[in-house]
Amino acid sequence: MDMDSIRERGLVLLGCGKMGSAMLKGWLAGGLPSASVTVLDPKPSDWLQGIEGLRLNADLPDNPALVLIAVKPQMMGDALPRIAALGGGGTLFVSVAAGTPIAAFENAFGADSPIIRAMPNTPAAVGRGITALIGNAKAGEDHMALAERLLSAVGDVVRLDSEAQMDAVTGVSGSGPAYVFHLIEAMAAAGEAEGLDRELALRLARATVSGAGELARLSEDPPSVLRENVTSPNGTTAAALEVLMDENSGLPPLMARAIRAAAARSKELSQ
């Protein structure tokens, strides 16, 4: 199976909210024909109505190559029956739902169906996401490769060794963009508290976080070296890092608590 099978047999996107839209934008920008995509969503947003050829809330194709499930975990009970008839055929199911285990989809579609659980993130909307994948026993190399091809159109892809890693992955990269956006908010607020006007503080914080992110991506040096490159002895950065790197009240213990809370919520959702 390759991307031609998606073009020919079609892709069904079940749920097209924030994450589904982020991926769909990336696929369409990458050349996937809109006529190959069937979107099922009870209240499709305006931008979807304007895409010529898109099969919006149309009948299901007979034998789509892939169904991508992007509804909230709490909506699965309502949403899955709509596509359950595709189970056991030649369709690959890929779910991006946090905390919904592969076993739940095997119950819905049958254990004979190839099912892949994926955890993407919203930078997919600008082709800069990262998605982690793990498949069930029926997901062979061709299925994994197809999911990898599709998701690599919107960023990086990694394969996991076990489904148990998914809770921690969700805590780091699935939810992670929110931590970074909050970092921008916090830096801007602190700049304002130091006397800058709001607009200037936000502009400085946004450019600094995105610029540092790009440098971290492109540089061959690890983040620790990039950090040291900013830090002059007894300078301003050293003064700030003394606060941020405090082992009791600094960023590492705070981030550990935040990611532990996200992973715990992911586990809770799977109960």
Ligand X SMILES: NC(=O)C1=CN([C@@H]2O[C@H](COP(=O)(O)OP(=O)(O)OC[C@H]3O[C@@H](n4cnc5c(N)ncnc54)[C@H](OP(=O)(O)O)[C@@H]3O)[C@@H](O)[C@H]2O)C=CC1
Ligand Y SMILES: O=C(O)[C@@H]1CCC=N1
Query: 137-176 burial string, b = 16+ CB within 10 Å, else e?
Result: ebbeeebbebbbebbebbbbbeebeeeeebbbbbbbbbbb
Nearer to ligand X, 41 or 106 (CB): 41
169 binds, among ligand Y, ligand X, none (CB under 5 to 8 A by kind): none
Within 173-202, which residues bind ligand X (CB under 6 A)?
174
- Contact status: 98 vs ligand Y (CB under 6 A): yes
CA count, 13 A, side-chain hemisphere, 70: 23
| 101 touching ligand X, by CB under 6 A | no
Which of 11, 32, 40, 67 binds ligand X (CB under 6 A)? It is 40
Q: Exposed/middle/buried for 220, CB within 10 Å: 0-12, 13-18, 19+?
A: exposed
Burial per residue of 101-121, b for 16 or more beta-carbon CB atoms within 10 angstroms, e otherwise:
bbebbbebbeeebbbbbbbbb
Q: Where do we find the tokens 């690959």?
A: 92
β-bridge partners, 93: 67, 115
Q: Which does 79 bind (CB under 5 to 8 A by kind): ligand X, ligand Y, none?
A: ligand X
78 interface partner picked from ligand Y, ligand X, none, CB below 5 to 8 A per type: ligand X
Task: Say what the alpha-carbon torsion angle 148, 142, 9, 86 is, to the nearest 10 degrees.
Answer: -100
Report what 17 binds from ligand X, ligand Y, none; CB cut-off 5-8 Å by kind. Answer: ligand X
Contact of residue 14 among ligand Y, ligand X, none (CB under 5-8 Å per partner type): ligand X
- Name the binding residues: 14-19, 57, 70-73
Number of chain positions touching ligand Y (CB under 6 A): 4
Q: Which residues pair with 92 in a beta bridge?
A: 66
Site for ligand Y in 149-188 (CB under 6 A): 170, 174-175
| Residue least distant from ligand X (Cβ) | 17
| C-alpha to C-alpha distance for 138 and 15, rounded to whole angstroms | 24
- Kindly tell me which residue out of 19, 48, 157, 263 binds ligand X, with binding defined by CB under 6 A: 19
Asked whether position 95 contacts ligand Y by CB under 6 A, the answer is no
With CB under 6 A as the rule, give the number of residues binding ligand X: 26
Question: Which residues does the annotation place in the binding site for NADPH?
Answer: 57
Burial of residue 270, with CB atoms counted within 10 A of its CB: 0-12 exposed, 13-18 middle, 19 or more buried = middle
H/E segment holding residue 117 = strand 115-119
Residues that bind ligand X (CB under 6 A): 14-20, 40-43, 70-73, 75, 78-79, 96-98, 119-122, 174
The site for ligand Y (CB under 6 A) is made up of 98, 170, 174-175
